[in-house]
């Protein structure tokens, strides 16, 4: 069965870009007779707010979107993510890292346009897990992980308009572009966005990940993690982004394009579909 999801972070109101993503995923699920799930990616405990969680549900309902089953809130599943990570410990694929807090915080967060994915230079790679101190982050030793897997099997399908086709993950490119990513920071109950999302896609039996093109660069690391955890790789569909008049991707802080604002001004769900270039229902 076709299963997809909409996975917003409740750190601000939904804007036109989210509406596009949610409607697309919802309509594809309904057309396929499948499931449309809702997942709140609220692992950023400082920025996630219950009022945004509630507003997101209100906006989706107003748009005429219905989701199947209960909402999965990632903040309630941190222990599960950490348990999964622990399974990598005996494989010697993780090492503790004490590089600065702000570096690590940035590495754990969801991507922002214009902010390059910074590849870690490997300063702490020599460290063993036995030397782990409270507050250390855990990094994936990517070279060791790729050695443990067969890169020949590492690929994913994209059915979206921008990256349609099969994407093979190349060892040298992965090392140059992804590097030793931070997966968690113990003690503070923080796990990386892309780890929690990859684990939950499997947990929720998602067959099709429909999301913005800005997340395309994260897909290889998610595919590598799926293989390390023995999880299936869903089909990906990275869609175009809705941009503002200056051509910039809309961000949470673009309250001017918040769905709730259009709603308050008397727009209809059909107006929103039109604004983002989706056909009428
Ligand atoms: N939570 C992410 C965001 O709001 C989306 C994650 C995903 O769809 O994989 O940007």
**pLDDT tens digits, one per residue of 126-174:** 999 999 988 889 999 999 999 999 877 899 999 999 999 999 999 999 9
Q: Whose CA is nearest to atom 4 of ligand 1?
A: 8
Bridge-based pairing state of the strands 35-40 and 72-73: parallel
Ligand 1 geometric centre to CA of 133 (Å): 31
Please, what is the end-to-end C-alpha distance for the chain in angstroms? 23
Question: Does the pLDDT at position 188 exceed 80?
Answer: no
Question: What is the predicted pLDDT for the residue at 60?
Answer: 98
Nearest to 146 by CA among 90, 232, 225, 234: 225
Query: 174 alpha carbon to ligand 1 midpoint, in Å?
Result: 21
Closest residue by Cα to atom 7, ligand 1, is 7
CA of 129 to the centre of ligand 1 (A): 30
What phi and psi values does residue 230 have, to the nearest 5 degrees? 70, 35
Say how many Å lie between the CA of residue 9 and the centre of ligand 1: 7
pTM score of the predicted model:
0.92
Give the pocket of ligand 1 (CB within 6 Å). Answer: 7-9, 41, 110, 197, 211, 215
Tokens of residue 161, six digits: 């308009």
The residue contributing the CA closest to ligand 1 atom 6 is: 7
The whole-angstrom separation of Cα 110 and Cα 21 is 16
Mean pLDDT across 181-188: 80
User: Which among 3, 9, 221 is the best mutation to test ligand 1's pocket, defined by most ligand atoms within 8 Å of the CB?
Assistant: 9
Tokens standing for residue 188: 């503070």
Residue with CA at minimum distance from ligand 1 atom 9? 197
132 Cα to the center of ligand 1, angstroms: 30
Mean pLDDT across the chain: 91
Task: Name the band, by pLDDT with cuts 50, 70 and 90, for residue 102.
Answer: low
Closest ligand 1 atom, residue 210 Cα: 8
CA of 123 to the centre of ligand 1 (A): 29
CA dist., res. 224 & res. 154, Å (int): 7
Average pLDDT over residues 260-264: 94
State the DSSP string of the chain: --EEEE---SSS--BHHHHHHHHHHHHHHHHTT-EEEEEE----TTT--HHHHHHHHHHHHHTT----SPPEEGGG-HHHHHHHHHTTGGGT-EEEE-S-HHHHHHHHSPP-TT---PPP--TTTT--GGG--TT-EEEE-HHHHHHHS-GGG-EEEE-SSSS-EEEEPPHHHHHHHT-S-EEEETTTTEE-HHHHHHHHHHHTT-SEEEEEGGGGGGHHHHHHHHHHTT-PPPEEEEEPPPB-TTSPBP-TT-GGGBHHHHHHTT--HHHHHHHTTPPP-
Phi, psi of 44 (to 5 degrees): -85, 90
Separation of alpha carbons 74 and 81, rounded Å? 9
């Amino acid at each position: 069965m076709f299963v997809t999801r909409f996975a917003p972070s409740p750190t601000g109101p939904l804007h036109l870009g989210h509406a596009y993503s949610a409607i697309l995923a919802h309509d594809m699920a309904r057309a396929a007779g499948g499931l449309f799930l809702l997942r709140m990616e609220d692992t950023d405990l400082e920025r996630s707010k219950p009022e945004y969680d509630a507003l997101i549900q209100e906006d989706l309902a107003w748009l005429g979107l219905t989701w199947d089953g209960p909402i999965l809130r990632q903040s309630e599943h941190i222990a599960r993510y950490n348990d999964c990570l622990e399974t990598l410990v005996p494989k010697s694929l993780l090492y503790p890292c004490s590089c600065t807090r702000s570096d690590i915080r940035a590495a754990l967060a969801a991507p922002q346009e214009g902010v390059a994915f910074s590849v870690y230079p490997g300063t702490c790679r020599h460290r063993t897990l036995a030397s782990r101190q409270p507050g250390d982050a855990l990094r994936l030793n990517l070279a060791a992980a790729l050695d443990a897997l067969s890169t020949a099997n590492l690929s994913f399908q994209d059915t979206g308009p921008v990256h349609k086709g099969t994407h093979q993950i190349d060892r040298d490119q992965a090392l140059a572009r992804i590097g030793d990513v931070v997966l968690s920071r113990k003690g503070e109950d923080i796990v990386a966005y892309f780890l929690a999302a990859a684990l939950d896609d499997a947990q929720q039996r998602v067959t099709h990940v429909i999301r913005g093109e800005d997340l395309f660069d994260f897909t290889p690391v998610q595919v590598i993690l799926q293989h390390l955890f023995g999880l299936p790789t869903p089909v990906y569909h990275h869609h175009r982004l809705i941009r503002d008049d200056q051509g910039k991707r809309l961000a949470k802080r673009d309250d001017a394009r918040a769905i709730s604002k259009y709603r308050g001004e008397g727009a209809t769900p059909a107006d929103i579909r039109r604004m983002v270039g989706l056909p009428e229902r």
